[in-house]
Structure formats: structure tokens, C-alpha cells
Amino acid sequence: MADSSRTAAIPDLRGRPGPPELNSGQKLMVFVLSMTLFGLANIVTEVLPEIQVGPVELGVSYLTFVPVLMVALFHPLYAALGAPLGEIVFADLLMGDFSGIGELEGYLQMFLALYVAGCLVRDPGRRWQLALASVVTVVVDKMLSATVDVAKVWVGVEEADSVPGLPESVLVLEGVDFAVALVISGVLFGVLPAMALGPRLHGRIEPLLGLAPRDARHRIPLAERGTGAFLLLAVFLSFVAMIAAFTNEIVDNFGVWEPDFVELYGARFLWVGASAALIVLVGLVVSVRFVLRSRGRRAAQDRQVGERRP
């Protein structure tokens, strides 16, 4: 193999006590790799035929094992950020199927699902962890998308609860979709291929990127940051997706903007407004802290480089 010399140069990285922090180039590599592969997988999915049995669509919604292997083998954050972008760029934008705001919703769902799954994996060599990650990805993604869909109907149809038969039918359709996705995308194209390919790729693909393989004994920052902060992020993102669908509830009374709208909408309106404010606040605090920290780190790096140079 032509790259054996490259691979041979790596072992000094493996010998170190802990995996070194990724530099910006390596983050970009993980991001681009995950983006490219999931994008290609989505193009392949577009080509695969689908069987329709009544309202049930027996098709592959995505090849789950590709992004799951990426988040399991590499840093979950950068891999999870890249994969849904690949879907948007390759399968939607280039194929002329870009749906604007809807893409943002899909991106948040898929990112959250993959990030959760990647954090659950500690050792990509273990098959059951990969299986768990595949199932979790599909479950989180489909749960969020079902929530958004139901919210859309609830908002888009006038007094949806009082229309006979509507809530049940929407829920049944969502439930069937969920079950089909879990079996086909989650198990057939998720658990089984991930279990087969994961241990083979582990330790082989990382050196090609100049990275140390993920090691169960060493925690990766941002991948094991306690469940607390992590759940916060989960709730936060799902709420953002929900609120995006709920906004029209607030502005529904655009034409009849009267002071008694609180009475009309009651506590629900206040709740939506308050949670929107809370989310904006939390988002601001988190992003400001993140920016400050990364700036501090970059400044420290620059200082180190400056000291070394003379």
C-alpha cells in the first residue's frame, strides 16, 4: 500500500498517555470525512427503490451505519456536525431538493441524534455499543421529527383537536413511519452493518487521518461531559425545533392584534413565550462562554507559538 509509510509514522501518537487534543486541521478532516460519506450514502439511498404498501413506505430513509461509525470512531461532536450537512449539500442542494427552513430542522434532529449516539459509545471495538448507538440515532431522530410534524399539524390546522379523526390519523401515520424506520434504517441498515464494519475499521481508518484511535481508557472532552450538561443540550435543541414549528402560534393573531390575546391563548401563550426567552438566554450564555473559552485557548496557543519561534 502506498500509504504504509504514512501509517508507520503514526505510532508515536498512539504511545502517548492520552489522545492529544485535535487541532483545527484534524477537526476539519473529521468534519469533511463525515460530511462526504453521509452525503454519498444519501445519494445511494435516493437511488434505492421503495415499496409502498398502502400508507406504509417500506424504504430506507438513510444508511444509518455510515454516520454512526463516524461518530463512534472519531470525535462525536465534529462527526455529528458534519454528517447532516453532507445530507443537505449532496442529497438536497445538488439534487435540487433543498427545502429552506425545513433543512435546518432536519439538521438539528440528525445532529442531536448522532451526537447522543456518539457519546454513548466508549469503545468502537465493542459490537453491542455500536448496535446501541445505531438504535439510539434512529430513535432520537424519528422522535424529534414526529414531534415537529405533530406540532405542525396542530398549528397549521385551525383547532386541530376538535376536527374528528385528525389527531389519531396523524399519530398513527407517525407511529407507522417510526416503526418502519426503526426496523429498516435502524436494524437492517444500522445495527447489522455497524456491528460488522465497526471493529474492522477501528484502528485502521484513524491513522489515515493522522489521529489516534479512540481508546476506552481515555475520555474525550465533550464526549463524556456528564449527563447533566448533555441532557440540557438535548432539551435545548429539541425545543428549538419545536419552537420553530410553534412560532406561528404566537403570530397567528397577526391581523387581530388586540390586547386580550393573553386571554385568548391563556397560559399556553405565556409558556411558549417564556420558553422561547429562556432558550435564547441559555443559548446566549452557552455561546458566549464557548467563544470566550476558544478565544482564550487560541490566544494561549499563539503565545506558545510566539515564544517558541524566537
By CB under 8 A, what part of segment 248-287 binds other proteins? 248, 251-252, 254-256
By CB under 8 A, what part of segment 39-68 binds other proteins? 39-41, 43-44, 46-47, 52, 54-55, 63, 65-66
Among 10, 14, 36, 187, binds other proteins (CB under 8 A): 36
Choose between 162 and 228: whose C-beta lies nearer to other proteins: 162
Choose between 36 and 147: whose C-beta lies nearer to other proteins: 36
- For the beta carbon of residue 24, count every other beta carbon within 10 angstroms: 9
* Stretch binding other proteins (CB under 8 A), from 111-119, 203-211, 233-241, 282-290: 203-211
By CB under 8 A, what part of segment 120-139 binds other proteins? none
Spatial separation of the C-alpha atoms in residues 232 and 220, rounded to whole Å: 19
- The helix/strand/coil state of 73 is helix
Spatial separation of the C-alpha atoms in residues 139 and 71, rounded to whole Å: 16
Choose between 224 and 233: whose C-beta lies nearer to other proteins: 233
- The helix/strand/coil state of 212 is coil
We find the least distance from the C-beta atom of residue 34 to other proteins, in angstroms, to be: 9
By CB under 8 A, what part of segment 138-157 binds other proteins? 153, 155-157
Q: Among the residues of the chain, which ranges form H helices?
A: 4-8, 11-14, 24-47, 65-73, 76-86, 101-120, 127-156, 166-181, 192-201, 205-208, 227-251, 261-308
Among 12, 158, 260, 307, binds other proteins (CB under 8 A): 158
Partners of 53 in the β-ladder: 56
By CB under 8 A, what part of segment 163-192 binds other proteins? 163-166, 168-170, 172-173, 188-189
Among 77, 80, 81, 133, binds other proteins (CB under 8 A): 81
Spatial separation of the C-alpha atoms in residues 128 and 216, rounded to whole Å: 14
**450538561: which residue's cell?**
229
